[in-house]
Structure 1
């Protein structure tokens, strides 16, 4: 198999459940030139180097492959919308990211995320309590989706109930990233969703500017800090970035985590017995089954010599993070799930100046959700392995994860004692999925 055909297999939906053999094939040649002139980089050292290389641009307007695909920004921008700092280079990137971070994390607002921990635990407890009288649950619909979307809505100051308004637009926007769609259809879906989302966020920003609260969106809309206030159009696109990226990737992290634990009953029991294991376990999950598999549409600003290949100036780059996370040159036994692994220098949150903005929030949400999942769900068993997956090859995770369960341990009774392991395969990779993505019932939020 050629490297180019291995990349085609990564994009093929039939391999969504297990793209890793094709990642291994790509790593044979660290830098692969595709027929369209794009370069795919698949080994850890080379990806890490390029993530920190100032000669690699994130400005999507410079990228020839993005133009050919009809992409205009963060895959969510509608006509006339400004790109976010995710699609910028310094110095603009640095300024807008600093303005947003002033109200999200250290040093100015160190308690914003940590202060949500109690509320996160309340949300998870309520969600799991809601499963008590059921014999079948869906981890995606019942836990992995409602937790992060509720948290990010409360952080931003999105009114209760509005999730049902923007959920449809977000789904359309993410569907537009399906490589199976022709560029014209992708662009149409992206523009359609972007227009609706932009109008919604513009309305929300204006409401918070007129009547600010204690939320993140109000803080940014009224900020007159040392670098000035973020322009209105930039605030709208940044608000959308935080809203969408603030929950969609965490949905995958939690659902991939639950699936991995069910395939590794011993590790599930370890987490049940020792909740403190959740901290290193989530880091291992970010390496082993990352929610974002690759970063597309980077551009070489100069000729770049790497791993024996010269990437010419102006070329488009795709960084295959998930392949780097299983590079045997950097990780021992990379295809094994080892929660207590000491080397956690994974690429699950990217790296360099574009290191994931919301990483502290995603970590905490996943730690709490998976700990309570292990501790309270009695004898969970996979209904289907592999489960159906979402269409996107880069934002990768199950679209649904149905489980049969024997009920839920009540909070007042503490954690359930050791029980029989779930009858699911352990220490093995799933076979390629042959099922189509399915659409289930509307995802609910805790009331």
Structure 2
């Protein structure tokens, strides 16, 4: 088929379970201009260079033709959709309460609590012969953790799950659909979630506790070290969504991959010390974020001999780069002990994933606990039903039948 239909085919739900043949086609094409004027990039070295190129903008307002996805939004973009210097300022202020140097032990201090959450979840289906890895395990864990980090009451989780689903649907770049309704629903959900989190943060102002919302409102001693109320809203919405959506996919894709490779599953069960390396391989082999659809050149640029005009939509297909045979040996083979695994699973450059340390730790603890707990797990359906999003790709349900745990 023609390379100018690749994006339409990649985003077609019919290919959600296995987009990798299309990614191979994309790599053969080099840079593929689409009928709508967008450009797809799927080769590892091209993507890596563009992720570090200051001429590439993450602010969709720099598009030559507005894409309509931000129309009517009541909240400004979060830092993930901004360029430096504003991106650097906001990301830096958020990082103060998340990691080093100001809060170096924020993530590591959660290891014991994560292990307890995993143990409780596993104990909850100890006597069941069939479980849904998504609803019973992969979703509750990161939601509980991000609620703990931000200071959101876990009893409010059902409320923001609906908001999160609507916001994620707003990212769906599937061509041939009118994005106006999705954009409207996403904007309303983002506003509602922002107001909720903003009000919650304000209640912390006089009564701070050991959570990120408290840190956002108390700020720092030096001038300019505080987020404004509006910035607290946009940053908190971003962290709440990003803090669980991608990790759900990472854990679920990981379980699916291991069940498809029973020899490697047994290997990891016998040698749990290999799990950190295995998680890196899962991030390469089945990344939770498949593509970055909102990059824009600030000037005409040349990529693999193709001129991409200023203001054109530029789509970096990370999952394609992760299977590039020019970068990885035998890239379609899942190898949990793979060396030299500098994957694109967390992006790269100034917009590399803010929560990567947390996602890695959650996945390691979750998969180690699950493998130790389950005896004889079997997939009920393969491929399983997938979520609609081609960007945040992962099973919507992953039903597993298993023997009763022996312990």
For residues 322 and 70 of structure 2, what CA distance do their matches in structure 1 show? 27
Do 2:64 and 2:310's aligned partners in 1 also have CA atoms closer than 8 Å? no
Map residues 222-301 of structure 1 onto 2, 5 A cutoff.
222-226=218-222, 227-301=224-298
Corresponding position: 1:81 with 2:72 = no
Do 2:268 and 2:275's aligned partners in 1 also have CA atoms closer than 8 Å? yes
For residues 328 and 45 of structure 1, what CA distance do their matches in structure 2 show? 11
Residue 68 (structure 1) aligns with: 67
In the alignment of these two chains, the number of paired residues is: 404
TM-score by length of 1: 0.88
Residue 214 (structure 1) aligns with: 210
Do 1:7 and 1:22's aligned partners in 2 also have CA atoms closer than 8 Å? no
Secondary structure of the corresponding residue to residue 28 of structure 1 = helix
Residue 302 (structure 2) aligns with: 305
Structure 2 unaligned segments of length 5 or more: list them: none
Map residues 19-418 of structure 1 onto 2, 5 A cutoff.
19-64=19-64, 67-71=66-70, 79-178=73-172, 179=174, 181-226=177-222, 227-410=224-407
Residue 413 (structure 1) aligns with: none
Deviates more, 1:255-264 or 1:5-14: 5-14
Do 1:253 and 1:285's aligned partners in 2 also have CA atoms closer than 8 Å? yes
Structure 1 unaligned segments of length 5 or more: list them: 73-77, 411-447
For residues 278 and 3 of structure 2, what CA distance do their matches in structure 1 show? 32
How much does 1:48 deviate?
Answer: 0.3
Do 1:83 and 1:234's aligned partners in 2 also have CA atoms closer than 8 Å? no
How much does 1:68 deviate?
Answer: 2.4
Secondary structure of the corresponding residue to residue 245 of structure 1 = helix
How much does 1:170 deviate?
Answer: 1.1
For residues 129 and 409 of structure 1, what CA distance do their matches in structure 2 show? 12
For residues 34 and 70 of structure 2, what CA distance do their matches in structure 1 show? 19
How much does 1:202 deviate?
Answer: 1.8
CA RMSD between the two structures: 1.3
The structure 1 segments of at least 4 consecutive aligned residues displaced by more than 6 Å after TM superposition are none
